[in-house]
Structure 1
């Protein structure tokens, strides 16, 4: 043979045709695990195997096939019953697709399957990829291939004759190999007469939306001639389509690879409830009988969407309910939080303040002055100081006569964390703030000195915070200073309800329970006395 030539050689028995560069496995027939197997290569002076051929698990491996592997290989089996020999011919060619090792003849119109016939490769249980070639070109995509490598042909025509090669891609020891086996397909002279049948649908389920338009397709194999007396039609739950105005159908023959198929379409202009979950059948009728294809309409499952919407709405409503509860019970929630914090939270460092609040009043007449004095000197300290431990500086109780009043008041205000201004109704509110002097509250028609200083510091330095308290009825702010009106607009005022005549003071405290909650809400979270206990 000329160097580099591709001449083929045949063995005496069971000749295998292989291609250069392919993976090939040769197994000794009927050689089980209890048989001793020896391989040799005839034509070599010492019967040894050529380079690239080795024995693994009693099989002959060509890794990969080379031109020098042409020849006859002998398998000698020795067992308890004696010994025997079998010869195998290996014919090597240069082409990508080897010569056919066998010929398969089928009948025109028959739907046959071609096996890959590489069971030795499949026995390796390796991940593999199977490809088919016709005359060394990729086959028609309409040819289906199953996991075992069997290629299913549609109703065959003479154009399908040719050489078919099954290629198996496999990875061994980190290296990729391809094994190839070819089969010649021919046609015999037999006559094949196949009855029409439905290709699809076959027990199909189509998901639809009620009220929408849907088209259902049906395809049927009719044979090799349009002259056959075959027709197609649809039924819905056993009824013809003419009985429903939403239904219309059409069908026409088509040609694929020389074979006649019927294509029928059922159009549903509007899906109604009674079209769901009932048998919808495509009928193919011929002189030899009839065939059916089934399809069922199923409504789209919106449970996941409904669940998501429900969860979103529930979460939104829950959030709104929490917000509303917080707004409605924010005073109670904050007070409860403060109470718990005193037990679990770390102690806070002193802020340097001596008093929790500076209490000052603004009133008009004697009656208002008496009521304000009672509230400022008795009711307020009893609740805040005696019950809750707050420290108050109250004008008229804690100031000392003879002090330089303006300086003392300014210094005391800076030692207070809040400024409580008590307001009462005035007979002539327009008289507020008309004089340019700054008295110590000798003229009750004007803001007291501490109130002006406290409001100024509160608006400019945010300290101390101001708490407005109205007693004795509604207060007209139109005649008050702009700073007081601003505080009123920004945070409102607490309203103390005057007890009715003859009512005991304890009853008054109960009726003003919400007032005291709001007062504690605006007061510092920790009384200054508690802060001063920290060393």
Structure 2
């Protein structure tokens, strides 16, 4: 077998490797592996040339060539160690950059970055953009500590790996392997990442104004006043955040009567806030009834809060009080009849709306419940499989119920993940039998997920997407008394945030109204929390 033939049999690696400490634009690569390098930045309509130590394309060493502007090492050899220069000729002239290559021998590529994961995480990305852009990938798989992963781990588009409920045991070094055809030859591209487990969710470094939010301050012309602005900054002070004020979209620096300053401080031992003060030495007419805006900005986002100065007027105050009382009464009436009003409006909307455009969702709701293994859970199964679909589907709603709508022999986790993401809502039915199997023997209460894997996966994948992407929305339905101490923290959070609907077991009395009317408010509230237009009424405009 020739030397070229041996190269094809190697476990070939593509990696955007870690920069060497103290050296700019120097990358670690592994000898014997494929390495593809792009000239930064990713401009279009430019002519790219590569050279080694100031030469031209003809001076590139053996096994290295330029393909569509990419510098391809097929494969990397120890002799390729050194510096490479790319030049771009475009409409703005010629730009260049020198990139160092440090060649070593590793079975799996060195770790490129660290990522912190929690029990509910958004998945682990493969981040091999250049490889997936080739559009010749055939298979993607993940390794842990250079060994195949045990069990079935879902891998989605672009190599995104979803762990089935991350824990401390999932920490370690992972490698994403992608089979790819490049320049007419078959290779395997790879990239490594180190995962660390944390029980504390990572808070996004996005600023947010806490107050003012449409605040009105009563003043008199000529008086002095101070306005306060509090904003969330993030987990660190060092994120290029600053705060400032404007008056009617004009900077405060343009007014001699205005002076603003701000300081950062920490609360709860880990979260940083900013507090800005706008001092107005003399309120002038031009400052009254115009938006006075406090803004906080970092490299990710700009958000603002608005305050308004109004001149004190007792007649206006009386009118405002009257309007507020009237509005409060109207609002109270709306809250009391809110569900009936919304359902009536939706019914009229379906009659008078000529056409609706489908959003691609197959079902209005995915129904998640504990499949029967006890006498108690037979009540839950009867509700999920008989009573619930009979009542909701007559109103046009389409439900996916595992155990009724899935096909035997399908990969359970794949079906669950696909179906949950194609539903507008996730209905989780909770019942009294959801209890710890060791309750009373230990202070730590085990969750249902320990012995109900499929139900656990439904809840994890659906609740995670609901908390991170706001879809599908979760609806909790209680049958009997439910002990939330036995449930995951994510469900307890949803219970605290939006509550749960309670369904009462029908009475044994034969009177039809007694049997069904006791749950009338339950069905109204459930339809209120469902999509406004059932999928059965949707049709695409042609």
- TM-score range with shorter-chain normalisation? 0.3 to 0.5
Structure 1 length-normalised TM: 0.39
Larger radius of gyration: 1
